[in-house]
Amino acid sequence: MRVTFLGTGTSHGVPMIGCRCSTCRSNDRRDKRWRSSILIELADNISVLVDTSPDLRSQVLAFGVSRVDAILFTHSHADHVLGLNDMYRFNVLQGQTIPCFADGSTLADLFQMFAYVFSRTPAVSGGVAQIKPYELFGPFCLGRSTVVPIPIFHGKRLIFGYRVGNFAYLTDCSLIPDSSWELLAGVEVLVVDALRHRSHSSHFTVDEAIASAERIQPRLTYLTHMCHDILHADTSEMLPGAIELAYDGLVIDVQ
């Protein structure tokens, strides 16, 4: 299984509009962060997109993505869904409708935000993404792989992270409920939210992300969904050996 980080930033992205901080002015390409999303390429050549960020078109062009077989949505905040209609190009390339999977609340929001996509009688003809929704209630299969939704809290809202095999992706996380820790047992590669060093009501800090990794004990941990408070080079020097900052374009292989 191969995972490509399409974006590792927050809702503002980095650089942030109108900001002149050292991270936003950095020449280190690892400090350029599109809104958070990953692509998971499964062993049987199924490509799974996690979230459709507003930067989706730029992301797939930059990293050579030419196929998406399914979408997993973590939740319905704008920075995770507003690129949905860019999926139309994949409909054309593949000649088929693309399934998306999410919790009921997220699907309800998507139906409202993209009514023209999900309507049985679209008001708009041509150029409209063809997406088939599926509500998640537990683990399910994509090809030969089992996808396990991991309930986590994003502030007061319960959303989904996802586990596929030995890999888990927990973006926009501020609390892992007791019932979800057992779903993360044996994870070898963990990706977890680490917004900044200062506390936040709906995201892990860097220290909280490190603490969650220490409890899960993966072989490798990558931090994502980082704001402009996180300067890649300086922050990397502070991290424990098995924990790294992800960056846009990073590709990792997971057994």
Over residues 135-151, the mean pLDDT reads 97
Q: Give Cβ neighbours of residue 84 (< 8 Å, ≥ 6 apart).
A: 52, 110, 114, 117, 129, 131
What is the rounded distance in angstroms from the CA atom of residue 183 to the CA atom of residue 139?
A: 11
pLDDT value, residue 22: 97
- pLDDT tens digit string along 145-167? 999 999 999 999 999 999 999 99
Counting DSSP H helices and E strands in the chain, the numbers are 8, 14
Mean pLDDT of all residues belonging to the chain: 96
Instruction: Return d(Cα 193, Cα 222) in angstroms, integer.
Output: 9
Using CA atoms, how far apart are residues 8 and 223, in angstroms rounded to an integer? 8
Tell me how far apart the terminal alpha carbons of the chain are, to the nearest angstrom: 6
- CA count, 13 A, side-chain hemisphere, 186: 7
Asked if 162 contacts 169 with a C-beta cutoff of 8 angstroms, the reply is yes
Among residues 223, 152, 218, the alpha carbon closest in space to that of 185 is found at 218
What share of the chain has pLDDT > 70, as a percent?
97
The model's pLDDT over 56-103, given as tens digits with 9 standing for 90+, comes to 999 999 999 999 999 999 999 999 999 999 999 999 999 999 999 999
Res. 124: pLDDT tops 80: no
pLDDT band at 126 (very low <50, low <70, confident <90, very high): low
Measuring CA to CA, how many Å separate 53 from each of 6, 7, 26? 9, 8, 23
Q: Please tell me the predicted confidence (pLDDT) of residue 29.
A: 98
- Type and span of the H or E element at 69: none
Is residue 244 within a helix (H) or strand (E), and if so which, with residue range? strand 243-245
Domains of the chain: 2-253 (3.60.15.10)
Taking every pair of Cα atoms in the chain, the longest distance, rounded to a whole number of angstroms, is 55
* Residue 127: band (very low, low, confident or very high) from pLDDT cuts 50, 70, 90: confident
pLDDT at site 210: 98
Indicate yes or no: pTM above 0.85: yes
**Integer Cα distance of 216 and 201 in angstroms:** 22
Where are the alpha helices (H) located in the chain, listed in sequence order?
56-62, 78-81, 88-94, 104-113, 115-118, 178-181, 206-216, 232-238
Q: What is the pLDDT of residue 122?
A: 52
